[in-house]
Amino acid sequence: MKDGQQEGEASGHRFNAWVWGIMLLAGLVWSIWSIGSSSVKISDFKPSAWLDGAALNALTKALRLPGQETLETAHAAVRYRTMGDAGLQVALGCPQWMFYADGLRPPAGVTDEPFEARLKLMRHWAHQLRQKNIQLLVVAIPDKGRVEADKLCGLERATVMDARLERWHDTLRTAGIPFVDLRGVMQGQDAPLFFRTDVHMNATGARLAAQGVAAAALPLLGGAKGAQQFTVHPPGKPDVLKGDLLVLSGLMDAPKGWRPDLERVAPQDIEPVRDLGLLDEAAPVEVLLAGSSNGRRSNFAAWLGMGLGREVWNLSMDGGQFSGGFQDALKKSGDWPHTLRLVIWEFSENALSLPLAEREKAELEAIIALPAAW
């Protein structure tokens, strides 16, 4: 090989090396800037976060390229339009209807161990409340796929989901812990009780479920409805619902025809009547709702308060899954008013089959040396 040819090849290699080096350096600078300007914290990268995938999720959210959201929306729209697919987390039922995949079957790899652990946690927490002379009412909101079964159009619910809910109720019944089985109240209704593109109950469903919970809660409060009155304001101007299933599937910003039609929801305010004089005292806090995002949607807590004739102290938590809001409320039990008589623990049925959250694992470790509550 001639010297000139060798020199030319070496020069080409150097050029390629410089190009790749600049690209890698630019990528490094962009990554550092993206992470630094994001909301991620050092605690997001602790060893346990790498084991359960939380650290990788945090990095994925932080390292976003310019225009990446537009590309992802376009990909999701084409996938939906051409293949009838909405991704791993969302299942498509009848036209326009979306369902949360984890509500139809347990996540891959999840055995009975998390469910067994939750039975132990439930007994422990019920025992804690009994020691405080506070009643507990447990409410598992039936899954959307169960209530809107006629909208599944070929989708199937795993039988293990039914078996776990039955065993959950049987265990509560055996332990003497009051619970509400809303299946009889919510199934078989003519009107939809859930949003098409969201996992939560709509206004009709929330009101119906709240009535069922109130009917079960009143006997635990002595049987008499309270005197608290509520003002139900007329519905406001309908606005677009940012359905969480549309968001999960990446279709929220897709053009019409390349996603299910957007839903419009009219907001409605319901508030307790507070007609107090200077020397009057506010009604005592008797009922605490410690639930999931269901307790923060479609006026569920307000309808519940109307059914009880009592204002409900709502400590429900978005993303609380099985016990997030309930555990947070228990941690603050030292500050609960002495008038509190009933805690309503609400969660979605599918939470029984999800992997254990870190807060649940920590609670199990804390009670592992304690004797069984039952």
* Inter-residue contact 317 to 347 (CB < 8 Å): no
pLDDT value at residue 281 = 61
pLDDT value at residue 45 = 60
pLDDT value at residue 373 = 44
pLDDT value at residue 223 = 95
* pTM (two decimals): 0.83
Please, what is the average pLDDT of the chain? Answer: 89
- Burial state string for 315-347 with b = 16 or more CB within 10 A and e = fewer than 16: bbbeebbbbbbbbebbeeeeebeeebbbbbbbb
Q: Which residues of the chain have pLDDT under 70?
A: 1-13, 26-28, 30-68, 276-282, 369-374
Question: In the chain, at which residue ranges do the beta strands (DSSP E only) sit?
Answer: 90-92, 98-100, 135-141, 179-180, 230-232, 239-240, 264-265, 270-272, 287-290, 312-314, 342-348
